[in-house]
């Protein structure tokens, strides 16, 4: 075999190897499998894009039915939270020692009469990393699959993919109602300091009890600024119609997140048209960063709303749990009348990180604000 033949064979071998490598890269790039060796690189570089008109959300019926039955209370009520990768693992440039999911679960541990509620918490994971973390923590977990969308990456607030994630969540919750289950929906950046069911109405004629950014003192007033980060909804024909109408408005609500569309429906009189009985929850009991509660003796939840960046939320919610530990320590140490006197000047730590999160950043504002 002459010199040129040897070179030709070597060249053909090299080209074959290059073709194989390119083919492997393309397959790996489009694969959603967690076994993909390039996935960490792709995720860290935020290569998350969604082809237009490709959002198809699937709900494996038997899996969903089974997990709802396991998580349900005797009255067919579950607690539902939605998580993605950004909320279950630390980012490479993150100096904090915890995640949003860790803080959320820690609040159930520290809260009053909240630990048993974890038996009824269903975590809905919108990506594989979040699902794996949920299973590792031995919680009730459900994997929500939306074809053509990678919800694992951090989403810019009000970006097209942020809005798609919110609508995918709404569609899933409609399916839960259609299965006949009532639920408390909670964002993961809501700290559960007391059992909220003690402040929620047990009257079955109440269709929807929803939190507010700012409460005007009138629980039936549609002038309250609602927030879909925490609400209790009963499954019935009226609420199913509400969610069905709400979800079907997604294509005619360009540039709006699902919370804005629900608010528009309310202001257009759709709640009254359906005959919905709606209660807007007071911020004294269901508090948030938009308006702090001063009633530390009866507050149930604290939501890091009015905050634009996940790192800021984690920093300030860490302070909330630290304040709560201090409060509980004083209450446990002294008789109730002395404890009340000592706590007269008690204030939550200022939400400095969240206030500063609204300043312009090099890469914009990140997932997620409620």
Give yes or no for a contact between 285 and 190, defined as CB atoms under 8 angstroms apart: no
The number of beta carbons lying within 10 Å of the beta carbon of residue 292 is 16
The number of beta carbons lying within 10 Å of the beta carbon of residue 251 is 9
Which has more pLDDT, 164 or 296?
296
Which structure tokens are listed for 281?
Answer: 């929850």
At 95-136, the pLDDT tens digits run: 667 999 999 999 999 999 999 999 999 999 999 999 999 999
Given this model, what pLDDT does residue 252 score? 84
What's the rounded mean pLDDT across residues 241-247?
Answer: 97
What's the rounded mean pLDDT across residues 189-204?
Answer: 97
Q: Write down the domain spans for the chain.
A: 56-304
Q: Lowest-confidence range among 195-204, 231-240, 290-299?
A: 290-299
Give yes or no for a contact between 200 and 232, defined as CB atoms under 8 angstroms apart: yes
Paired sense of beta strands 56-58 and 145-147, if any? antiparallel
Given this model, what pLDDT does residue 147 score? 66
What's the rounded mean pLDDT across residues 72-90?
Answer: 95
pTM of the model: 0.80
Average pLDDT of the chain to the nearest whole number: 82
Which structure tokens are listed for 259?
Answer: 């919370």
Given this model, what pLDDT does residue 91 score? 66
Give yes or no for a contact between 162 and 367, defined as CB atoms under 8 angstroms apart: yes
At 17-47, the pLDDT tens digits run: 555 554 444 444 334 333 333 333 333 334 3
Give yes or no for a contact between 146 and 168, defined as CB atoms under 8 angstroms apart: yes
Given this model, what pLDDT does residue 164 score? 76
Given this model, what pLDDT does residue 52 score? 40
Beta bridge mates, 80: 122, 185
Q: Lowest-confidence range among 215-229, 328-342, 350-364?
A: 350-364
With pLDDT > 70 as the criterion, what percentage of the chain qualifies? 75
The Cα 370–Cα 360 span in angstroms is 18
The Cα 71–Cα 77 span in angstroms is 8
At 309-341, the pLDDT tens digits run: 899 999 999 999 999 999 999 999 998 888 888
Return the CATH number of the domain spanning residue range 56-304: 3.90.550.10
Task: State the angle between helix axes of 160-178 and 258-267 in degrees (0 to 180), rounded to the nearest 10.
Answer: 60
Given this model, what pLDDT does residue 250 score? 87
* pLDDT above 60 for 176: yes
């Amino acid at each position: 075999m002459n010199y040129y033949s040897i070179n030709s064979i070597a060249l053909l071998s090299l080209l074959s190897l290059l073709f194989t490598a390119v083919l492997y890269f393309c397959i790996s790039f489009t694969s959603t499998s967690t076994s993909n060796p390039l996935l960490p690189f792709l995720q860290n570089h935020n290569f998350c894009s969604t082809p237009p008109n490709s959002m198809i959300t699937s709900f494996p019926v038997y899996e969903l039915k089974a997990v709802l039955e396991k998580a349900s209370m005797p009255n067919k009520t579950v607690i539902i939270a939605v998580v993605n990768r950004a909320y279950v693992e630390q980012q490479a440039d993150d100096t904090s020692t915890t995640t949003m999911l860790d803080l959320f679960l820690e609040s159930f541990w520290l809260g009053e009469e909240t630990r048993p509620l974890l038996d009824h918490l269903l975590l809905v994971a919108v990506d594989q990393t979040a699902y794996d973390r949920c299973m590792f923590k031995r919680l009730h977990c459900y994997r929500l699959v939306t074809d053509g969308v990678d919800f694992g990456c951090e989403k810019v607030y009000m970006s097209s993919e942020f809005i798609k994630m919110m609508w995918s969540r709404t569609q899933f919750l409609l399916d839960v109602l259609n299965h006949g289950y009532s639920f408390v929906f909670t964002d993961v950046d809501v700290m559960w300091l007391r059992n909220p069911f003690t402040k929620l109405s047990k009257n079955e004629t109440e269709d929807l009890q929803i939190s507010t950014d700012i409460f005007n003192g009138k629980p039936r007033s549609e002038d309250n600024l609602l927030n879909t980060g925490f609400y209790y909804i009963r499954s019935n024909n009226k609420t199913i119609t509400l969610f069905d109408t709400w979800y079907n408005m997604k294509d005619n609500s360009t540039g709006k997140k699902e919370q804005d569309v629900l608010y528009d429906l309310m202001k257009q009189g759709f709640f009254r048209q359906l005959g919905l009985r709606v209660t807007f929850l007071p911020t004294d009991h269901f508090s948030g960063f938009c308006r702090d509660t001063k009633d530390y003796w009866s507050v149930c939840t604290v939501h890091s709303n009015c905050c634009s960046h996940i790192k800021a939320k984690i920093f300030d919610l860490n302070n909330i749990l630290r304040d709560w530990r201090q409060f509980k320590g004083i209450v446990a140490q002294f008789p109730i009348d002395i404890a009340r006197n000592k706590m007269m000047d008690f204030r939550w730590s200022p939400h400095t990180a969240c206030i500063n999160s609204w300043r312009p950043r090099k890469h914009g504002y990140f997932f997620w604000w409620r």
